[in-house]
Amino acid sequence: MKTLSLLFICLFITAGAFAQSSQSQDILNKLSSSMKSLETFYMEFNANIKNTSTGINESEKGKGWVKGNKYFATYGEITLLSNGVKTWTVINEEKSVYESDASDDEESMNPKKLMTIWEEGFKNKYEETSTFNGESVHVIKLYPTNPDNADYHTILLYIATKSNALKKAIMKTNDGTSMTYHLTKFVSNKDIADSKFNFNKAQYPGFAVIRD
């Protein structure tokens, strides 16, 4: 549930089936370098999750704050935060908080990690130059190198040709679900207090804290 609901934030197929495109790799390398150079960032996004076979068609708005390996992200009824040592997943509809060690959390939803998802486990291919919201964008396809262990069969990235900033991502899962994320705001090196990333139980009265 956590992975499906929060891959946006994002803010996200066979080895050798497609040749690694030097053009797309250069664009992704520049985007990765840009993201890693930031001390902090804040982003807002719109998301839509759709599956025609199950009738799911849900839209939500999300926000994310990142400072190094610390993050705070909200998406619908779910809040994720991590101080780099512990990670907390707050599910409002369940009135539950799931706590785990950040180092043990294989499903870490750090927005910074998601903004560089292509660095490991994917091959890429340059599709075309297109437009999104009136802006020229590169369209790049990602394919898992190990599809048997991947949740996604295709990820489409829309990256601005002028600023080389990620504008949109479409993730298509093996069960027919399509998740579309549209980045609506991005502020780099925003001043963010460390207290933003610490869980405060007093802010969630009546919530059960479940420790892994």
Q: Going residue by residue through the chain (212 aa), what tens digit of pLDDT does each one get?
A: 344 444 434 333 222 233 345 889 999 999 888 888 889 999 999 989 999 889 999 999 989 999 988 999 998 889 999 999 999 999 999 999 999 998 765 545 566 666 677 887 888 999 999 999 999 999 999 988 888 877 778 999 999 999 988 999 998 888 889 989 899 999 999 899 999 999 999 999 999 999 98
Whether 199 is covered by a domain: the verdict is no
Q: Which domain holds residue 113?
A: 2-193
CB 62 within 8 A of CB 76: yes
**Cα separation, 210 vs 89, whole angstroms:** 10
Whether 23 is covered by a domain: the verdict is yes
Tokens representing residue 184 in the block: 């609506």
Q: What is the pLDDT of residue 143?
A: 87
**What does the angle CA 18 – CA 19 – CA 20 come to, to the nearest 5 degrees?**
115
Close Cβ partners of 84 (under 8 Å, ≥ 6 residues apart): 68, 69, 70, 102, 197
Q: Count structural domains, the chain.
A: 1
User: Pick from 102, 50, 52, 58: which is nearest to 78 by CA?
Assistant: 58
Whether 209 is covered by a domain: the verdict is no
Whether 200 is covered by a domain: the verdict is no
CATH code for the domain in which residue 152 is found: 2.50.20.10
Whether 28 is covered by a domain: the verdict is yes
User: Pick from 194, 190, 187, 179: which is nearest to 9 by CA?
Assistant: 179
Whether 212 is covered by a domain: the verdict is no
Whether 44 is covered by a domain: the verdict is yes
Q: What is the pLDDT of residue 131?
A: 95
CB 6 within 8 A of CB 109: yes
